């Protein structure tokens, strides 16, 4: 159950950013040996967005962040904390400060957090702790990835899945004992790290004399789809059930389940395990594909924009992916 002696943490604004260029399944069929008839039944995806080369993950992140701040009615200068969940930073030293500068959030401390497709859930959980302890008052969490730049476009097993996008939420500390974030459950298991990776290979090169040095080289996304599916359909319902139990809320009382958009068959399997109605589970896979950590706030932003989810509604965010990592957050939307 929530700790009623600590300040509450509320999600008060959400925004999304998706590039305009669209890559359809028919387009992909001209690149690799595949077709809409092969992709759609297996994934639920018909198209995905591709960020133009002249733009970066920082541009996407800043666009989503501005939309979230506008909805929350909060100025960038009022932020205390900015977390960027990404696996495709433009700078391996970190891209969050660049997003901070683009927004003009001069008071906010900014840093990156990497947990792949679970990154948004982990980042919201991290930001919530800063707010709940009273150290900060307002936080912005952005999840953004440009996975089109990390895909092997000759590998039909992975290139059909991923798209580019960003999503953001604004978090605000509230009164002690009030609703907001009701429970958090996070998990990781490094024994499964080889099932899904975006690795850095090391190449040995001579430096001077007999001394050699290792040099990093980026590798494309590698995934064992069958094993990731088996992991997800087992782990995700369990972590959601534990988060709901901790919050003291039955599954049927939740208006919206915002689960990482990796594969429609996974969403269907999770819904069946939890005995959910179709209308409770958000799905934006058909139009956007797998946008990594951004998929959860993108789905949330779409539902709120359509009036399907709003102030006072109960929601569950659940992420899963590389690491292996997974987690769930139960929340009531709004102040």
| Residues with catalytic function | 117, 260, 290
Look at residues 279, 93, 87 and name the one whose alpha carbon lies nearest to residue 165: 87
| DSSP character at residue 94 | -
- Please compute, for residue 316, the number of CA atoms within 13 A of its CA located in the half-sphere on the CB side: 32
Cα separation, 167 vs 305, in Å, equals 13
Pairing status of strand 222-223 against strand 196-197: antiparallel
Chain centroid to CA 48: 16
Alpha-carbon distances of 28 from 33, 47, 148, 310, rounded to whole Å: 8, 9, 13, 37
Count Cβ atoms within 10 A of the Cβ of residue 134 and give its class: 0-12 exposed, 13-18 middle, 19 or more buried. exposed
Task: Report the 10 Å Cβ neighbour count for 188.
Answer: 15
Structure tokens at 229: 């599916």
The b/e string for 111-124 (b: 16+ C-beta within 10 A; e otherwise) is: ebbbbbbbbbbbbb
Compute the radius of gyration of the chain from its Cα atoms: 20
CB 91 within 8 A of CB 82: no
- DSSP calls for 32-46: SS--HHHHHHHH--S
Count Cβ atoms within 10 A of the Cβ of residue 334 and give its class: 0-12 exposed, 13-18 middle, 19 or more buried. middle
Give me the helices (H) in the chain, please: 25-29, 36-43, 57-72, 96-103, 119-132, 156-159, 225-247, 264-274, 285-288, 295-305
CB 261 within 8 A of CB 271: no
């Amino acid at each position: 159950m929530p700790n009623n002696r600590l300040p509450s943490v509320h999600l008060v604004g959400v925004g999304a950013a998706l590039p305009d260029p669209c890559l359809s399944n028919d387009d992909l069929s001209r690149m690799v040996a595949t077709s809409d008839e092969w992709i759609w039944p297996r994934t639920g995806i018909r198209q995905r967005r591709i960020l133009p080369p002249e733009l970066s993950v920082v541009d996407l992140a800043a666009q989503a962040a501005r939309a979230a701040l506008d909805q929350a009615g909060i100025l960038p200068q009022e932020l205390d904390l900015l977390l960027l969940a990404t696996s495709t930073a433009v700078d391996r030293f970190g891209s969050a400060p660049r997003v901070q500068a683009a927004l003009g959030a001069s008071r906010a401390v900014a840093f990156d957090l990497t947990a792949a497709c679970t990154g948004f859930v982990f980042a919201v959980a991290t930001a919530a702790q800063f707010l709940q302890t009273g150290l900060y008052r307002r936080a912005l969490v952005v999840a953004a990835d440009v996975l089109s730049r990390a895909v092997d476009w000759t590998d039909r097993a992975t290139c059909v899945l991923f798209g580019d996008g960003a999503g953001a939420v604004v978090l605000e500390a509230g009164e002690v004992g009030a609703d907001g974030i009701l429970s958090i459950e996070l998990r990781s298991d490094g024994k499964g790290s080889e099932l899904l990776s975006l690795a850095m290979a090391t190449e040995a090169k001579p430096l001077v004399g007999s001394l050699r040095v290792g040099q990093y080289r980026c590798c494309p996304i590698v995934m064992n789809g069958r094993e990731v599916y088996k992991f997800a359909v087992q782990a995700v319902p369990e972590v959601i059930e534990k988060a709901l139990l901790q919050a003291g809320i039955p599954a049927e009382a939740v208006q919206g389940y915002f689960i990482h958009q990796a594969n429609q068959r996974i969403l269907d399997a999770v819904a069946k395990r939890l005995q959910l109605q179709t209308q409770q589970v958000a799905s934006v896979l058909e139009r956007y594909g797998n946008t990594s950590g951004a998929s959860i706030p993108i789905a949330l932003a779409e539902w709120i924009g359509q009036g399907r989810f709003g102030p006072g509604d109960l929601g569950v965010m659940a992420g899963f992916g590389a690491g292996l990592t997974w987690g769930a957050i139960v929340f009531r939307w709004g102040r």
